[in-house]
Amino acid sequence: MKQVVLITGGTMGIGQGLAEAFLAQGDEVAVCGRSAEALEAFTRAHPQALAIKADVTKSLDRAAMLEAVANRFGRLDVLVNNAGRFVERDFLRSDAAKDLEDEITLNLTAPIQLTAEVLERWPKPAALIFVTSGFALVSPTRAPTYGAVKAGLHGFAEGLRRQLAPNGTHVLELLPTTTDTPGTAHETRKKMTTTEVAAVTLKALARHRDMALPGPMKMLPTLLRIAPNATKRMVADI
């Protein structure tokens, strides 16, 4: 059955890969982003989708975005909380906490607020997807606050899953491995494509899994159980 899907930060990177995967299986898709140029490019490539200019950290933008989805499609079946940003912070420096509130708002507070607003309008969506990170399980040395906010989002998804179970809403957490996106252009290590990450995500969604674990991520929970210290040392310094 065709679903209506909203993906935050859906004009590039993993968000765009997910948008294209949902479109390819015949779903109706809405994406949001802050860049007018990126939104225009997405619309040219995918004219059947709805592209909305919105900053998810702003309550008025979130409200306008959900209204646009309601006006176009009449409902929302799947929310993908994807928008986020990786910020390195060295707490041996005096400016370590610069713009910290902005990071926390974008990566943690905004997806929680948007989820609450979606549930208020559509109390029984088919699925809620949260894009977190392997760093939600092992906080990175170079970005401890990123680890903190992703761990917070992981905890929220876990508790929300139990809370919404009686309604039949599937709560899925995606923990992507290093993925080939504009944000990782400087990385030289092996990366998965956004298409590959999206395929793993949609398979986990179809199978009603709690987590989508692309590539090496599928081994991380097991490794943390059998060799926690060694695994943490390895992952923390990636």
Residues with catalytic annotation? 146
Parallel/antiparallel/unpaired status of strands 211-212 and 127-131:
unpaired
Crossing angle (nearest 10°) for helices 144-164 and 110-121:
20
Q: Please, which residues have CB within 8 angstroms of residue 235's CB and are 6 or more apart in sequence?
A: 134, 135, 137, 138, 140, 220
Structure tokens at 208: 């009603």
Report how far residue 179's alpha carbon sits from residue 199's, in angstroms, rounded to the nearest whole number. Answer: 13
Counted residue by residue, the chain has a size of: 238
Residue 56, helix vs strand vs coil: coil
- DSSP alpha helix (H) spans, 74-142: 100-104, 110-121
Q: How many degrees, rounded to 5, is the angle at CA 64 between CA 60 and CA 70?
A: 145
Report how far residue 103's alpha carbon sits from residue 150's, in angstroms, rounded to the nearest whole number. Answer: 11
Report how far residue 58's alpha carbon sits from residue 35's, in angstroms, rounded to the nearest whole number. Answer: 15
Report how far residue 154's alpha carbon sits from residue 148's, in angstroms, rounded to the nearest whole number. Answer: 10
**What is the CB neighbour count within 10 angstroms for residue 226?**
8
